[in-house]
Amino acid sequence: MTASSQLPTGTALPAPPAPGRRRLITEESVTALFFILPSLLGFILFYAMPALRGVWISMTDWDLLTDASFIGLQNYSRLFQDAEFWNALKVTLYYVVLNIPLQTILAVVIAVLMSRLTKSMLVRGLIILPWLLPPVVVGLLWLWLLDPNIGIVNVALKSLGLPMIAFLGLPQYAMPTIAMINIWQYVGYTALLIFAGLQSIPGSVYEAASIDGASENQMFWRITIPLLRPVLVFVLVTSVIGSFQIFDTIAITTKGGPINATKVMNWYIYEQAFTRYNMGYSTTISIILFAILVFISLAQMRLMRAGESDM
């Protein structure tokens, strides 16, 4: 009885589920679509459309005063003759070179020291404190600490019998100083991410290596660094992208000066748009910046994967 009542359903089973499941999928696809619809709409309206509109604006001579008219690629060819643009590109690259290697190495050192010396949650908490401060606050703080007349750093230099330095006022010091300020703000956060990566390396790997007679040095270069690769890629890609977009610190401290020494691309874009009202040209530069960022991130990810050993 039970068998016979079960049998029809049993034999019937293969057939009905197909349309049933298909109906389920369409029904649930609608629900799934509702889940992402708000984001998708917002993304299209406020992200994708402005981005595309930017491409159009970059091909106009829009300057707020007169109506925009299409000028083709003139803005792009103008870039090549614009010494200020090349300077901005150079200054930005200089900043990235000053910032990234030092910050990454320091972060690795701090992360290794942290994992060796302390399990304290307080240390981990303190280490990302500067990262939490608004860049405006960080800019003002350092502007004051480095003030050529009353800044505490110069007071300290003077008391040591050294000459006082206008850190942010001299072209040769301004960019390294900005790099130092931003390293101060971000190195702790970077260190914490790397520290997280270190924690994920099982201790048994090191034990095995030390049984095999590996030195500390060998372990660091042969185990720690290769196994940290995913975290390092993430950290490098995000911090390089971030560095290319440096803006806040410069807006607060030097405003591109002295004599264009810190006029990075983002500041130049901002200046072209909001003080010179060259909307079309400003957008052109920002599209070039975008292209550079995409290229660099792809190249970086490719490079960091090259020679990857699946340990």
267-296 binders of other proteins (CB under 8 A):
269-270, 273-274, 279, 282-283, 286-287, 289-290, 293-294
Which range of residues in 69-77, 162-170, 187-195, 301-309 is near other proteins by CB under 8 A?
A: 187-195
CB of 293 to other proteins, least distance (A): 6
| Selected binder of other proteins within 88, 168, 188, 239 (CB under 8 A) | 188
Which CB, 6 or 200, lies closer to other proteins? 200
User: What mask of x and - would describe binding to other proteins in positions 214 to 243, judged by CB under 8 A?
Assistant: ----------------xx--x------x--
CB of 208 to other proteins, least distance (A): 19
197 binds other proteins (CB under 8 A): yes
CA distance 227 to 225: 6
Sign of CA dihedral 223, 226, 230, 232: positive
Residue 171, preceding peptide bond in cis (omega within 30° of 0): no
148-177 binders of other proteins (CB under 8 A):
150, 152, 155
248 binds other proteins (CB under 8 A): yes
Which CB, 4 or 213, lies closer to other proteins? 213
SS3 content of the chain, % helix, strand, coil (to 5): 75, 0, 25
| Selected binder of other proteins within 74, 87, 115, 297 (CB under 8 A) | 297
Q: Which two tokens stand for residue 310?
A: 């699946």
CA distance 5 to 12: 12
3-state secondary structure of 128: coil
Q: How many residues bind other proteins (CB under 8 A)?
A: 85
Which CB, 173 or 290, lies closer to other proteins? 290
33 binds other proteins (CB under 8 A): yes
Sequence-distant (≥ 6) Cβ neighbours of residue 71 within 8 angstroms: 59, 60, 61, 280
Q: Taking the CB of residue 293, how many other CB atoms lie within 10 A of it?
A: 14
3-state secondary structure of 214: coil
| Selected binder of other proteins within 7, 73, 105, 109 (CB under 8 A) | 109
Q: Which two tokens stand for residue 83?
A: 């010494």
